[in-house]
Amino acid sequence: MSIDIDTYALVTLDDAQNYLLEDPVADIDRTEDLIIRLINGVSASAETYMNRKILSRPYTEDYDGSGSDTQQLNQYPIISVTSVSTDYYRTFPSESNIALTDIIIYEEEGKIVRAPSGLTVSIDEETGKIIKFSTFPKGRKNVRVIYTAGYATVPHDIKHVVLSEIVWHYENITKKKLGTQAVAVMGENVSVFIGDLLPTTKLILSAYRKHM
């Protein structure tokens, strides 16, 4: 049965075949399904480890309001923000939209800050407390952000280690090796379970890892 490569896989079939095979054209029928499985599986494992998506795509996400002027988004780098809305009832009518001119976008950090140009605070006459208007009100799923985030192309170091992972798993599967294998890392042998990411892969991916 033919298998489709995932839309947002981190490498292409051509990338993997050229990395793996001496004669990709001659060997394509025998290996294509296995390679696609490995591309999809390794791409998913890498993004799970990084706790984020890599390639650019659109998102519509609802967040718990932070109660401050800053809202952290799930994905980055942010390419564009289409709309930001706050609604206690979570229906998000058009009137709940915040003017984008009142939103500062921190692209690389993946966060937005509410910063209106006009009056942002008031005094409660009864309590004397300062009321700040430029916040994302605390609540459950009461902030909706429609945005696009991710890289236009996969960074070279991520692509390299993903392809190396595909080679590692391909060789172990075709040679019917199961269990664990010893790999050299900085001059020392480390046991790696077949199916897990290699230590060197994790080292490179750690630079892109999102920490909650």
- Tokens 């993997």 -> residue: 16
Show the domain range for 66. 57-149
Q: Domain check: are 44 and 94 in the same one?
A: no
pLDDT at res. 129: 56
**pLDDT of 31 above 80:** no
Q: Domain check: are 66 and 144 in the same one?
A: yes
pLDDT at res. 18: 84
pLDDT digit string, tens, across residues 9-25:
999 999 998 888 655 54
Q: Distance between CA 197 and CA 173 in Å, rounded?
A: 15
* CA proximity to 55, closest of 93, 95, 9, 86: 9
Q: Domain check: are 100 and 136 in the same one?
A: yes
pLDDT at res. 186: 43
Q: Domain check: are 75 and 117 in the same one?
A: yes
- Asked, for residue 182, whether it belongs to a domain, the answer is yes
206 class by beta-carbon count within 10 Å (0-12 exposed, 13-18 middle, 19+ buried): exposed
- Asked, for residue 140, whether it belongs to a domain, the answer is yes
Q: Domain check: are 124 and 140 in the same one?
A: yes
pLDDT digit string, tens, across residues 37-91:
899 999 999 999 999 999 999 999 999 999 999 999 999 999 999 999 999 999 9
Q: Domain check: are 61 and 39 in the same one?
A: no
- Asked, for residue 100, whether it belongs to a domain, the answer is yes
Q: Domain check: are 201 and 165 in the same one?
A: yes
How many domains in the chain? 2
- Asked, for residue 124, whether it belongs to a domain, the answer is yes
Q: Domain check: are 65 and 89 in the same one?
A: yes
- Asked, for residue 2, whether it belongs to a domain, the answer is no
Pick the last residue of a domain from 113, 132, 149: 149
Residues making up the chain, counted from first to last? 212
Average pLDDT rounded to a whole number, residues 124-132: 56
Average pLDDT rounded to a whole number, residues 23-31: 54
**pLDDT of 192 above 50:** no
- Asked, for residue 3, whether it belongs to a domain, the answer is no
